[in-house]
């Protein structure tokens, strides 16, 4: 059973500090027995999408490049798979929110560019990111078949389904999500809007785990940046949609979980959702809206 580690960290204004801090966390996770180690979304920076500022484009890195090469060396040294997420400069005026996967022998397996780009107050991502054009991917690593999707992608069952259909056993979602103060305490039925938002976030991904017979791992950051309070609570869901491990709301955490791929295989044999799909009936899903 491969052990996965989710690195839930705060972010510093200086990218060099975040890169060093994350490397130290990767080393600690490997020492803790982790074989697949995952960062939060845009791990090299604070969440700069709070505002629209052209100077923030200076934070982007070429991918592959120096950053991914350092992960190749680190993965080979430690014998671990690294899944990381950063800000990609593809060309001047062309930027992506991108994740990459490095295998345990240091092989760069490739990248995935975030497909769904949100635009909300405090989440000004359309200003920075071009929608991804890599398609959905499954990365065959030494410790399992991994699909990587990023934050806003996590709300879309189509993205999870296609990634699982490509063979993914584990869906990994690097994330940066939190509460705005004016929203968090608003009443929402029998709870608050903040609690309702978190419940929706967790529930939709647990649903992806059930519908696709796979593990789901979400890695969020913690701390307050600007007015956004990132809500942490990185978690692992098994193929029944059960949250089997979860981190705290506020604290930096390395969250470990042992992934039982044999149990997943057995589960897919008796819950054969892929077998029973009626692909002849699904053509309308590619339409924008059905009038």
Beta bridge partners of 228: 225
Beta bridge partners of 141: 144
Provide the b/e sequence for 208-235 (b: ≥16 CB within 10 Å). bbbbbbbbbbbbbbbbebeebbbbbbbb
3-state SS class at 222: strand
Geometric angle at alpha carbon 56, from 51 and 62, rounded to 5°: 135
Which residues are part of the catalytic machinery? 41, 114, 151
Beta bridge partners of 113: 98
Alpha helices in the chain (DSSP H): 15-31, 66-78, 125-128, 157-165, 181-184, 193-212, 261-270
Contact present, 259 and 6 (Cβ < 8 Å): no
């Amino acid at each position: 059973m491969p052990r996965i580690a989710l690195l839930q960290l705060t972010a510093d204004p200086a990218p060099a500090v975040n890169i060093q801090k994350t490397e130290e966390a990767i080393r600690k996770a490997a020492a803790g027995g982790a074989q697949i180690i995952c960062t939060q979304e845009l791990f090299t920076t604070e969440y700069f999408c709070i505002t629209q500022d052209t100077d923030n484009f200076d934070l982007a890195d070429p991918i592959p490049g120096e950053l991914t090469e350092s992960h190749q060396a680190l993965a080979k040294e430690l014998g671990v798979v690294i899944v990381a997420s950063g800000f990609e400069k593809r060309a001047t005026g062309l930027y992506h929110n991108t994740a990459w996967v490095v295998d345990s022998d240091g092989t760069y397996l490739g990248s995935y560019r975030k497909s769904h780009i949100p635009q909300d107050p405090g989440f000004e991502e359309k200003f920075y990111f071009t929608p991804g054009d890599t398609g959905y991917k499954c990365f065959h690593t030494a410790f399992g078949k991994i699909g990587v999707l990023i934050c806003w992608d996590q709300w879309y069952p189509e993205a999870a389904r296609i990634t699982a259909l490509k063979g993914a056993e584990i869906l990994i979602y690097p994330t940066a999500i939190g509460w705005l103060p004016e929203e968090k305490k608003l009443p929402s039925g029998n709870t608050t809007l903040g609690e309702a938002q978190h419940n929706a976030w967790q529930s939709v991904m647990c649903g992806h785990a059930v519908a696709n017979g796979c593990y789901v791992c979400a890695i969020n950051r913690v701390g307050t940046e600007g007015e956004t309070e990132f809500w942490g609570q990185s978690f692992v869901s098994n193929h029944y949609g059960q949250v089997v491990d979860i981190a705290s709301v506020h604290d930096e955490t390395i969250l470990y979980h042992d992934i039982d791929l044999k149990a997943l295989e057995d589960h897919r044999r008796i819950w054969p959702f892929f077998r029973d799909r009626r692909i002849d009936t699904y053509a309308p899903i590619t339409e924008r809206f059905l009038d």
